[in-house]
Structure 1
């Protein structure tokens, strides 16, 4: 009896006397409402007033909120959940790339990519200084030098970017225009691959892409805004209502700001400003970073950039092997080499920088792939906590392809969020040939250890890293639950690291909202929060997980307004 009374009082708190006197704008009832609250409650109805959820409960509890003008929606048993949130994405880059010469779906061989690139060259004529940027090369196992790329095109400069976002191939003309020679030093956080004589081969990784990228043609802000608006519509159609742009530059922020000021921004955005120089921990450098994250004229519920992005290392795959690992990579025959990858910062100044950014109240969002990079990042957060005490800055490490088991528990201990990409946790061309033999079975067993991190108490937030991977959350959740792709030849990757659908729903809702520092307004269906929610054609918790990607989003609401409807 006492528990029943407490439940009744709790429901009444969600529906105050003042609320009862004011009808809701609309009420959704007769559904299965997954609230994503701490109890992971399932309700049948909720009410919306303006842009805010007014009450959540059963159908009977909503009756006092139904007035003459209230729109009542009978859900017919359909599943409703909070709007999905992508905690690591690159919306502007992805939108712009969609309009470029693309090798998506093309077999990554010189023979197969040649006609596609030549067709793009013909469609985009230009002289010997007119660059052509080619994107979405599925670069795993692709091996080509500048001279090889010259057989595709030798007169005009070419820059071919891999779909990992970390690798670029250039022809000889491109290297010349970029000023890359044998005397060009590797930049901090990047590498220029070289032959035995020291001459550049035409392959660049990570920060080495920055210089050439500044030479490539870019659309105007207005053109990028139009492309981004189209992308956001696609995101809304998959249930996305908020995203983190995980490597923001002033150019990209201006694109988001244009959509915001014109009333065309239909997702909430939190940006992480990209920091190139990790060696400068001076007060002046930190003050400049902090200044770049402030924008007093914008509504922080829609668009803000109070976060910073740093790269701790590169990628694991052979031949780049720029991800920092604790033990040396193996050769193709399983023998240890001298290669341990590249840590893109010196720990002492990096720890100082992170400590100062933490003290300033910024979230630090780290790209870390290898287990040495993960450990060094955790060490930096530990140094910040030792200096500043526990602060609610929601620091996070993204990707976590390889984590030493000794570090699993440190995420929860330090309050560091595991920002993961469920769709990557499968055996495919990216991690079999160019990776498995070079790690060995002991390390490969823990590839994408999302289940182990969750079991160790880490808060797991979901991101796509689009346009490297699809932004559709239901594709990602299917892979996360099955640890395999579809198709007759698909193989399972480390099934022990799978996650429950409930955990992944949390990863795309309340946990991702926490990573964005927006869980006070979105991420769950609770009274007082913004009315961001989606209506699905099925219950993800009740279906075969191997069919999750078949889920259809019937409607998406942001701030109480429909932004997508089938």
Structure 2
């Protein structure tokens, strides 16, 4: 029976506990924590040295060399297939101007003459005022084939004229339900499409992605995450085709970390969706794959502030009447949440603006009142703007705030697109992570990758400093919302495991304690002792899933 002994380093046991100095793993499960218990289990009388190997019980002795061992990271809100697909098209992510994007699209199209539709992601929406990109700019690169690029927010696309033509989007096309078609002065479509109702017009005529490409994307996402110490991911936007990809990956043995699927609820066809969601969950459960579950339903309550579709209690600064987009009108969100809650699903609601957050809180409260008590662990994702009177409701209702710490900084996205739309006073009330914790609420972290980086240490660096890459402001932006490093580490590990129900399952993970799966990460340096700039670039040395090293930088 193989044993693995970790020693000579700080073994982090959570925000409220002192680190241990020794850890023993047997067949992927933690069996002892602390030198005394490790030595007792091995029948040793000394704790001053690591146990020696024997033929009867070989021991893999891992010297941490003064480093740091902790539960592996989880990503409580991300889009792994989207992320993996970004490598399949023109590489526009790093482009810093429209000209660079156009040149890259042209390069890709010329190198791939047989591709019917040129698709890619994700461009920086702050490069153009208002995030409004013109189809004619892409026409300069490709005019005979459709081109569709997703913006970084994944709520917006930029098309060339050929794509608009094939989608039937003209000056006479009415504004769609749950979407917007920005127009030129003469009424013709500009080339930017916002939110699902508009984007769906193009998606309806695009050929489906090849399944082999989708499986490659999922494996590429696994490589990305394991390198960064992430062993569980909440896929927070799962369509029927994605379910098939995950099931295929499972049956082919191609899943290499844990995934939970959040099945997307569309207000335009929710009634017909719910039976399909129940069936998708049944099919996933039938696989009995410990790396795959489908416990969750994803709702969008609104869009995003950057294109003025985030739903606000008070109007945007640009208009006395524009409060943003409310995806579910009237009581429909509460009705749908009650239905999926009654079906035993976990609720996961995207809510950016303070009006959307309040609507989400009300919907969860309605489900609790109607369906009665149970361990439901509802999630409100992003919670970018929360009214002060609503902060305590997260704790009162047992709602997990899944927030993206990387967003809590004065970067170009914030200063160019967000602050002008919210105004200075309201902008300072964003990402109130510390307030939710101090009110007794639960805070779990996610990345929203590929919208932004899926590297947890980068998010930790921002969440614990509220400073941008230039180290500004010196005391941090809204410094009262800074989260200390121990609670930040917890939010990216144990708290995400709680969101995943991992502490209430047959295969516990996300904690370092006897009986838990040895899902661990090793750093060469203690992240609690690093400056934010150092933390942002520190690499995960080894990632373990069930005690097996699934990534190593050694």
**TM-score over 0.5 for the pair:** yes
Q: 2:19 aligns with which of 29, 38, 42?
A: 42
Residues 1:486 and 2:469 are matched in the alignment: yes
- C-alpha contact (below 8 Å) 1:309/1:365 kept by paired residues: yes
Change (3 A) 1:296 1:231: closer
For 2:309, the equivalent position in structure 1 comes to 322
- C-alpha contact (below 8 Å) 1:171/1:202 kept by paired residues: yes
Q: Distance in 2 between matches of 1:472 and 1:92?
A: 16
For 1:14, the equivalent position in structure 2 comes to none
SS class of match (2:502): coil
Q: 2:169 aligns with which of 177, 180, 185?
A: 180
Q: 1:249 aligns with which of 232, 239, 244?
A: 239
- C-alpha contact (below 8 Å) 2:544/2:551 kept by paired residues: yes
Task: Work out the number of aligned pairs and report it.
Answer: 532
Change (3 A) 1:298 1:185: farther
Q: 1:55 aligns with which of 14, 19, 32?
A: 32
Q: 2:458 aligns with which of 462, 472, 475?
A: 475
Q: Distance in 1 between matches of 2:28 and 2:193?
A: 47
Q: Distance in 2 between matches of 1:134 and 1:289?
A: 29
Provide the TM-score with structure 2 as the length reference: 0.90
For 1:140, the equivalent position in structure 2 comes to 126
Q: 1:196, CA displacement in angstroms? A: 5.4
After superposition, give the CA deviation of every residue in 1:109-136 in whole Å (9 maximum; x if it has no partner).
Answer: 3x33222221111112159xx3211321
Which is worse superposed, 256-265 or 505-514? 256-265
For 2:323, the equivalent position in structure 1 comes to 340
Residues 1:531 and 2:508 are matched in the alignment: no
Q: Distance in 1 between matches of 2:275 and 2:112?
A: 43
Q: Distance in 1 between matches of 2:457 and 2:387?
A: 28
What RMSD, in angstroms, separates the aligned Cα atoms of the two structures? Answer: 2.3
For 1:265, the equivalent position in structure 2 comes to 255
- C-alpha contact (below 8 Å) 1:45/1:62 kept by paired residues: no
1:475-554 aligned within 5 A = 475-487=458-470, 492-520=476-504, 521-554=508-541
- C-alpha contact (below 8 Å) 2:88/2:120 kept by paired residues: no
For 1:289, the equivalent position in structure 2 comes to 277
- C-alpha contact (below 8 Å) 1:370/1:400 kept by paired residues: yes
List alignment gaps of at least 5 residues for structure 2: 43-50
For 2:335, the equivalent position in structure 1 comes to 352
Q: 1:229 aligns with which of 219, 225, 247?
A: 219
Q: 1:305, CA displacement in angstroms? A: 1.0
For 2:550, the equivalent position in structure 1 comes to 563
Q: Distance in 2 between matches of 1:403 and 1:292?
A: 33
For 1:424, the equivalent position in structure 2 comes to 407
Residues 1:275 and 2:252 are matched in the alignment: no
- C-alpha contact (below 8 Å) 2:250/2:289 kept by paired residues: no
For 2:95, the equivalent position in structure 1 comes to 106
List alignment gaps of at least 5 residues for structure 1: 1-22
- C-alpha contact (below 8 Å) 2:102/2:137 kept by paired residues: no
For 1:459, the equivalent position in structure 2 comes to 442
- C-alpha contact (below 8 Å) 2:308/2:421 kept by paired residues: no
SS class of match (2:450): coil
For 1:439, the equivalent position in structure 2 comes to 422
Provide the TM-score with structure 1 as the length reference: 0.88
- C-alpha contact (below 8 Å) 2:30/2:516 kept by paired residues: yes
After superposition, give the CA deviation of every residue in 1:233-255 in whole Å (9 maximum; x if it has no partner).
Answer: 23112111111111112322333
Q: 1:399, CA displacement in angstroms? A: 1.3
Q: 1:444, CA displacement in angstroms? A: 0.8
SS class of match (1:93): helix
Q: 1:141, CA displacement in angstroms? A: 4.4
For 1:9, the equivalent position in structure 2 comes to none
For 1:364, the equivalent position in structure 2 comes to 347
- C-alpha contact (below 8 Å) 1:106/1:137 kept by paired residues: yes
Q: Distance in 2 between matches of 1:488 and 1:50?
A: 44
SS class of match (1:423): helix
Q: Distance in 2 between matches of 1:280 and 1:506?
A: 38
Q: 1:169, CA displacement in angstroms? A: 1.4
SS class of match (2:297): strand
For 1:33, the equivalent position in structure 2 comes to 11
After superposition, give the CA deviation of every residue in 1:457-484 in whole Å (9 maximum; x if it has no partner).
Answer: 2211111111111111101100111112
Which is worse superposed, 362-371 or 437-446? 437-446
Q: Distance in 2 between matches of 1:549 and 1:103?
A: 23
Q: 1:29, CA displacement in angstroms? A: 2.5
After superposition, give the CA deviation of every residue in 1:289-328 in whole Å (9 maximum; x if it has no partner).
Answer: 32222223223531011111111111112xx311111001
- C-alpha contact (below 8 Å) 1:150/1:171 kept by paired residues: yes
Change (3 A) 1:41 1:358: farther
